[in-house]
Amino acid sequence: MEASASTSTARRLRAFRRWMRDHGVVCSDALRLDAAEDGGGGVYVRALAALREGDLAIEAAELGGPLALAVAVMYERARGAESPWDAYLRLIPEREPVPLVWPADEAERLLAGTELDKIVKQDRQFICEDWKECIEPLILSGELEVDPDDFSLENYFSAKSLLSSRSFRIDSYHGSGMVPLADLFNHKTGGEHVHFTSVLEGSDSDSEDGEDPNNASADEQSTIENSADIPSGDDEDLEMIVVRDVNEGEEVFNTYGTMGNAALLHRYGFTEMDNPYDIVNIDLALVTKWCSSKYSRRYARARVSLWHNLGYSGCTSQDADYFEISYDGEPQLELLILLYIISLKSDAYDKLASVAHDLIGDDEVDSISSVLKVVRVTSSNQHPDIGGLEKLPDVKKLLLNESVCSALVSLADMRESLYGSNTLEDDRQKLQACSSVNERNLYHSLVLRVSERTILHKLKKHASSWSKTKKRKQL
């Protein structure tokens, strides 16, 4: 079976090389396209000779494109051998293994509790609506003169998975597009060898402008939105430049941006072990639920309202506010401030509420100075030295009383319960026994789950440590 797949991939590679020659795509003689060793039909880029920073790896001419990439992919695939993109479209897979196209029940089971749980469900809903409102009328109009089956909802999902994984921003003029050969380079966090640039602007195109790829919520739109229209213009070159030396025989990597595993799996269908950009989000709704159960709904509403009145807010996605927990288990400052306000005794809370308006300036909230003001107003202890605090970690420590640390542990437990009854150790054992080739979806979902749950355990460990340190100082 593997030999057959290898032969098929080799045949498609030969056809793609002919296509590159015919379409002015020049690949350095120092690069070789090889079939992936796992026998899955994938392709990667290998260095045949040592590459040095500044070398030109790829030159692609005559960049152009249709108004809607998803429609273009389906249309050109429907044309088969008549399409000028046929060799390229036959080289890449029918669909990428992103969660968007996993069986719905499998995605729900494997992604339960993770940062992708809600996002993938929303993606499916939006894409179905997109097809119903935009693609189906196009089919019924008869304008494309193709078989309606080629524009089915299933094929639309496949096209969207390709755009999610293979289209990227070229520059401000061309917008986003699929660039043959350039999209065959695999990603490596912090270890890329090449950058893709436009000769016109000379701008790197590894990630979308203004987008925070660390955040899975911010990355929601990458799969569900249509890519930018590509205006016509004069022919110009796109280049892949070597930015880091490559030894002979090594795989040549690009970068898709500084993304955590939730974003990588969501958009590209893979994860990386020990990804330093991983985060876990704790929804404001979860904090409110915890506070209501410990005190009352009225108490929770009042404390959250005061927090907002002081100018604070968490991160915001389409339908929820949330707080980020970093890879090291560090909670977002705004979460600590909210928990600190929740933990205040009635007299301190009333005092803070009475001066809240005076604590807000005309400028944006300065994290450090605003925290120091809150602590001065509410603390029964004198802090003569807090005015000299300038580093965020030191300021955070002021907020970490025993009640706040206990709240962090409770929130981490509530957040982890969303993964189900299995423990972190259960997931680690499953991951060790899992094949990244034969059980791809399970493997990458487990990498994501293990990473997220490890972060929550780091948070609990930090909170317990902070609490013990506070008690020792009080003694």
Confirm whether 211 is domain-assigned.
no
- Do 287 and 342 lie in one domain? The reply is yes
Nearest by Cα to 71 from 155, 14, 4: 155
Per-residue pLDDT, 387: 57
Please report which helix (H) or strand (E) contains residue 35, including its range: strand 31-35
- Do 141 and 2 lie in one domain? The reply is no
- Do 435 and 318 lie in one domain? The reply is yes
Query: What is the torsion angle, in degrees rounded to the nearest 10, for the CA atoms of residue 133, residue 135, residue 141 and residue 142?
Result: -170
- Do 193 and 324 lie in one domain? The reply is no
Q: Which amino acid is at 233?
A: G
- Do 302 and 389 lie in one domain? The reply is yes
The CB density around residue 432, as the number of other CB atoms within 10 Å, is 8
Per-residue pLDDT, 338: 96
Confirm whether 271 is domain-assigned.
no
Whether the Cβ atoms of residue 44 and residue 36 lie closer than 8 Å to each other: yes
Provide the token pair at 253.
């990597």
Confirm whether 231 is domain-assigned.
no
Domain CATH for 96? 3.90.1410.10
pTM: predicted TM-score of the whole model, two decimal places: 0.76
Domain CATH for 386? 3.90.1420.10
Domain count, the chain: 3
Per-residue pLDDT, 385: 57
Per-residue pLDDT, 198: 62
Confirm whether 260 is domain-assigned.
no
- Do 296 and 359 lie in one domain? The reply is yes
Confirm whether 264 is domain-assigned.
no
- Do 430 and 349 lie in one domain? The reply is yes
Which residues span the domain enclosing 159?
59-178
Contacts for 271 with CB less than 8 Å, ≥ 6 apart: 261, 264, 265, 444, 447, 448, 451
- Do 304 and 407 lie in one domain? The reply is yes
Per-residue pLDDT, 171: 67
- Do 144 and 171 lie in one domain? The reply is yes
Per-residue pLDDT, 89: 92
- Do 132 and 165 lie in one domain? The reply is yes
Per-residue pLDDT, 13: 76
- Do 63 and 48 lie in one domain? The reply is no
- Tell me how far CA of residue 242 lies from CA of 247, 251, 266, 470, in angstroms: 12, 13, 27, 51
Domain CATH for 26? 2.170.270
List per-residue pLDDT tens for the chain, 475 residues long: 555 666 777 777 777 777 766 666 666 666 677 777 666 667 777 776 666 666 555 454 333 333 368 888 898 899 899 999 999 999 999 999 999 999 999 999 999 999 999 999 999 999 999 889 888 888 888 776 778 999 999 999 999 999 888 887 766 666 677 888 778 888 887 777 877 766 554 444 444 444 443 444 433 333 323 333 333 444 556 677 888 888 888 888 887 778 999 999 999 999 999 999 999 999 999 999 999 999 999 999 999 999 999 989 999 887 789 999 999 999 999 999 999 999 999 999 999 999 888 877 544 445 677 787 888 888 766 555 565 566 777 778 888 889 999 999 999 999 999 999 899 999 999 999 999 999 999 999 999 999 999 999 999 999 988 766 655 555 4
- Do 303 and 406 lie in one domain? The reply is yes
Count CA atoms closer than 13 A to 90's CA, side-chain side.
21
